[in-house]
């Protein structure tokens, strides 16, 4: 019987045959795809023909076609709908995939061909995109150790293989802790909780096989529980379980794994001739150096901390007025902040959510994409990889652009957080390949699903990434879509969040799910006025995490990461009632892979640009200004990694921005 992953995909738009795929298909499919890729790469390396862009670089672009298809399906499913079989295969694949990558970059004959092209690049008559792709291929090979010899090359291969294993284990440990912990609630424990929190807790209890409601460690449940539960004792239990993920002294403890990862990263950097892993990692990014990262973060830290400390004093006074013993604790902040928000802005999240149904906010994000870029969305029937998943064909002027899949609801088989990925990326080489783009979130499932304003912001954020993938218009997959500098990749996503704040968008789409009534004008005004509320807290949470990440990778790897974390936070004067957004044992951005290692700062680096980029629309007097939208698409969304990020941004905006736009956007200018 033919493996459905390896047979031609004949479904509409070349979608994977989801209904025909079983877990048993993935292992054999990877074995066959890896063998095919090895043979193709070997043939490129061993050919006798003089190296050309076509027979070397373009050929490499197409050499892993089957592996790309199988990987695109598997890794999306492994993160969004994990099973024991998929987790076992992930552990098995981590060293295999790392070994294959090392085989390619350590292939001396292959690198010699690339190096030969590089030496002759000015006489090859390459188009600008081809020159960029050649530059990036050579840089990738060099940074992967292609110039190393003997024992150093062998050791680097071992280090990278071990890092792949540890990153997978870190992720699976975190998922296990999140999946296994829950707190059963008695009916009396539901007092003070809005209906949407109670409904979510009851649904979570049913999923966990309980007869009543439970609190889990999923953000879509635990955060509103911390916001609304008047039971300080229960808030403490839930909060401490939440921040202890990966550090419970059980089989899923991530602390030793984090220490080993940091040591191996330092060794990797030293083998490649860098002073630190941060220096190695930041070299190809916009920031370039650890000093540039620290300068940004410190400039934001001090005003954010001043604002947070002032807010903490107000919240602690509210706590004491309730008759509770101070000081304000981390499990108190969200509860009293929510109460303060309601008092100062007359904004009640429970009253707001009926106007922010998932369907309404999907309509808003699609409408904005239509008004900005002319995209249209037609819902498809499926089936997709899970019953919760919805799909849309994306078109423009009748032409197919992409398939967009949305997987929005929390479940125990899904890792926490929200992300965008591509089961298939855009490219023109070898035929016009249109992307299959996936947004994954962890919203509470309901009839209907009602979002918080932060949830709606997350929806828009991930869709900004999706637009970066869908509107990509390059020849080579190597630079397609989000294949850009890490501190540039968050620009499209964070920029798209701004359209959620456009009053006309909410006036049109924020309608009560039962009555269809528009959000009352006074509620809308209060919502937008509260846009910078609690930004001291949010900024301190983020910047402390980013500074700890930088400290981990900037010098010698700490033998005890938890001690180093504590040292950094003490030096910063971390407010006692706020914890890092991601403490080390559950800092998946940094330890589940190399993506955001020494790079968590990139969200804030991109925020400097996104505040300035949206100002271009404001200066034009129209949030949907056609010429500005066209420049945004041409120079950023469709360009992928075709040029350095600062070149692309400057072409769109005419200059690079300063940090003032970020401070203004977060309401921190007065505290600066």
Q: Which two tokens stand for residue 542?
A: 């983020």
Token pair recorded at residue 431: 């035929």
d(CA 551, CA 568): 8
What values do phi and psi take at 306, rounded to 5?
A: -60, -40
Which entry of 462, 554, 607, 643 is annotated as an active-site residue?
462
**Residue 258 region by backbone torsions, left for phi larger than 0, else alpha for psi between -120 and 50, else beta:** alpha
Give CA–CA dist 636/491, Å, rounded. Answer: 9
Asked if residue 493 has a cis previous peptide bond (ω within 30° of 0), the answer is no
The contacts of residue 126 (CB under 8 Å, 6+ apart) are 53, 134
Phi-psi region of 560 (alpha: psi -120 to 50; beta: other; left: phi over 0): beta
User: Which is nearest to 596 in space by CA: 427, 460, 654, 604?
Assistant: 604
Q: CA end-to-end span of the chain, whole Å?
A: 67
What dihedral do alpha carbons 643, 117, 145, 64 form, nearest 10°? 80
Annotated active-site residue 316? The verdict is no
DSSP SS3 for 383: coil
Q: Which two tokens stand for residue 602?
A: 């990139």
Contact of 141 with 121, CB cutoff 8 Å = no
Asked if 576 contacts 327 with a C-beta cutoff of 8 angstroms, the reply is yes
Give which of 407, 500, 410, 486 is closest to 454, Cα–Cα.
Answer: 500
What tokens were used for 339?
Answer: 């109460």
User: What DSSP string describes 1-53?
Assistant: ---TTTS---SGGG---GGG--HHHHHHHHHHHHHHHHHHHHHHHH--SPP-I
Q: How far apart are the C-alpha atoms of 595 and 593, rounded to whole Å?
A: 6
Query: What is the pairing mode between strands 399-409 and 436-443?
Result: parallel
Note the Cα 307 to chain centre separation in Å. Answer: 27
- 8 A C-beta contact, residue 406 and residue 393: no
Q: How crowded is residue 612: how many other Cβ atoms within 10 Å of its Cβ?
A: 22
Beta pairing, strands 399-409 & 214-216: unpaired
| Dihedral (Cα; 375, 381, 385, 386), 10-degree rounding | 110
Secondary structure element (H or E) that encloses residue 366, with its range = helix 358-373
User: Alpha-carbon distance 218 to 197, whole Å?
Assistant: 12
Q: Residue 587 has which token pair? A: 């800092």
Please count the other Cβ atoms lying within 10 Å of the Cβ belonging to residue 150. 7
Look at the chain and count its residues: 672
Cα separation of 575 and 314, whole Å?
A: 14
Active site residues: 462
């Amino acid at each position: 019987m033919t493996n459905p992953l390896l047979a031609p995909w004949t479904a509409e738009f070349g979608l994977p045959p989801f209904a025909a795929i079983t877990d048993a298909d993935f292992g054999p499919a990877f074995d066959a795809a890896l063998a095919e890729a090895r043979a193709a790469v070997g043939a490129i390396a061993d050919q006798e023909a003089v190296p050309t862009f076509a027979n070397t670089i373009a050929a490499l672009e197409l050499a892993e076609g089957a592996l790309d298809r199988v990987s695109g399906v598997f890794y999306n499913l492994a993160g969004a709908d994990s099973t024991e079989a998929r987790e076992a295969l992930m552990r098995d694949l981590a060293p295999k995939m790392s070994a294959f990558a090392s085989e390619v970059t350590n292939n001396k004959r292959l690198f010699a061909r690339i190096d030969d092209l590089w030496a002759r690049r000015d006489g090859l008559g390459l188009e600008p995109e081809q020159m960029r792709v050649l530059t990036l291929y050579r840089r990738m090979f060099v940074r992967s150790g292609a110039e190393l010899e003997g024992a150093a090359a062998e050791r680097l291969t071992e280090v990278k293989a071990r890092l792949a294993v540890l990153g997978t284990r870190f992720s699976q440990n975190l998922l296990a802790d999140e999946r296994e912990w829950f707190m059963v609630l008695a009916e009396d424990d539901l007092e003070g909780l809005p209906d949407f929190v109670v409904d979510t807790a009851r649904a979570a209890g049913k999923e966990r096989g309980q007869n009543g409601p439970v609190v889990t460690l999923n953000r879509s449940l635990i955060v509103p529980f911390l916001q609304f539960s008047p039971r300080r004792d229960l808030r403490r239990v839930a909060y401490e379980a939440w921040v202890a993920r990966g550090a419970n002294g059980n089989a899923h403890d991530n602390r030793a794994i984090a220490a080993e990862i940091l040591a191996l990263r330092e060794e990797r950097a030293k083998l490649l001739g860098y002073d630190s892993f941060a220096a190695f990692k930041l070299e190809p990014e916009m920031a370039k150096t650890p000093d540039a990262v620290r300068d940004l973060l410190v400039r934001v830290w001090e005003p954010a901390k001043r604002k947070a400390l002032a807010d903490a004093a107000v919240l602690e006074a509210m706590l004491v007025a309730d008759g509770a013993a101070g000081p304000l604790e981390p499990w108190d902040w969200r509860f009293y902040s929510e109460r303060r928000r309601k008092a100062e802005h007359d904004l009640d999240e429970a009253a707001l959510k009926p106007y922010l149904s998932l369907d309404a906010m999907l309509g808003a994000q699609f409408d904005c994409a239509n008004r900005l870029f002319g995209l249209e969305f037609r819902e498809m029937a499926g089936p997709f990889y899970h019953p919760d998943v919805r799909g849309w064909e994306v078109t423009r002027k009748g032409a197919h652009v992409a398939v967009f899949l949305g997987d929005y609801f929390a479940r125990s088989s899904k890792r926490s957080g929200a992300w965008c990925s591509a089961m298939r990326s855009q490219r023109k080489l070898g035929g016009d390949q249109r992307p299959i783009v996936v947004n994954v979130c962890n919203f509470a499932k309901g009839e209907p699903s009602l979002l918080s304003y932060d949830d709606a912001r997350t929806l828009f954020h991930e869709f900004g990434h999706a637009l970066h993938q869908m509107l990509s218009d390059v020849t080579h997959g190597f630079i397609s879509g989000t294949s850009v500098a890490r501190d540039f990749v968050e620009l499209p996503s964070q920029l798209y969040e701004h359209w959620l704040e456009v009053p006309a968008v909410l006036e049109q789409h924020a309608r009560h799910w039962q009555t269809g009534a528009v959000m009352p004008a006074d509620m809308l005004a209060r919502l937008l006025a509260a846009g910078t509320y609690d930004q001291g807290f949010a900024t301190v949470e983020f910047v402390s995490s980013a500074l700890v990440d930088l400290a981990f990778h900037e010098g010698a790897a700490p033998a005890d990461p938890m001690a180093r974390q504590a040292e950094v936070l003490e030096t910063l004067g971390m407010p006692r009632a706020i914890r890092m957004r991601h403490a080390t044992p559950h800092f998946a951005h940094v330890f589940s892979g190399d993506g955001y290692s020494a790079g968590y700062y990139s969200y804030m680096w991109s925020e400097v640009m996104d505040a300035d980029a949206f100002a271009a629309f404001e200066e034009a007097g129209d949030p949907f200004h056609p010429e500005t939208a066209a420049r945004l698409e041409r120079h950023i969304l469709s360009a992928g990694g075709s040029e350095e990020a600062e070149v692309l941004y400057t072409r769109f905006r005419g200059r690079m921005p300063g940090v003032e736009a970020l401070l203004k956007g977060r309401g921190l200018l007065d505290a600066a």
